[in-house]
Amino acid sequence: MAKRIGITMRVDNAGGHNEPRDCLAQGWANYMANVSPHTFWMPLPNLGEAITDYVRQWQLDGFIFSGGNDLGSCQLRDCTEYTLLNHALRNALPVFGVCRGLQLLQQHSHGILRRCERYVHVATVHPIHLRADLLEFDAPGQANVNSYHQWAVPQHTLAPSLELLAASSDGCVEAVRHRAAPIAAVQWHPERKASPVQAELDRNFLCNTLQLEE
């Protein structure tokens, strides 16, 4: 049976309107269609603690925590994703975090975030060093990935419940997995323009974590 995956959404304010709106980058639709065309997926509204009942009603099998919104900048989204992560941990449901998703996983695990160098990590491409020996799929020791974040997890502050899978040359965590749950996260964006090497890495990370058919 095809998996049913929910993707969390950022919160934006439309210009000229005092009306917060949930939104999801259009790239996710193309990305999911290319990577796992048999998977059913849906955007998840920011409902705060009510998100638990919502995902139960839709009988979702796993979640993608998308990027956007610094942690602390939108209380409703923070509450929604914290509630969703706790629900996933209680029910052994898989989660794949993207950018903010990795930072939220670190913060949820009582780890520290710090600002990173903009010229290295904001709207750029940089190399990462992978622990290929720890991955459950073939991966190179190094790859170039896109980068769009101003907050990062310093490698030496990674929460004990998380295992390092990749880091940048300046010591920022780039990929992790949870030591006791089917949860992984990357600091880059799979749904945005990527090199062939990153695209293959993303496919393996996503499908392996969420147990999706390719």
Residues annotated as catalytic are 99, 189, 191
Helices (H), 92-135: 100-108, 118-121
Beta bridge partners of 157: none
Residue 205's contacts (CB-CB under 8 Å, 6 or more residues apart) are: 96, 175, 184, 186, 190
From the list 108, 97, 213, the residue with the least C-alpha distance to 165 is 97
SS3 130: strand
Give just the sign of the alpha carbon dihedral 177, 183, 189, 195: positive
DSSP secondary structure code for residue 179 in this structure: S
Rg (CA), the chain: 16
Q: How many CB atoms lie within 10 A of CB 15?
A: 5
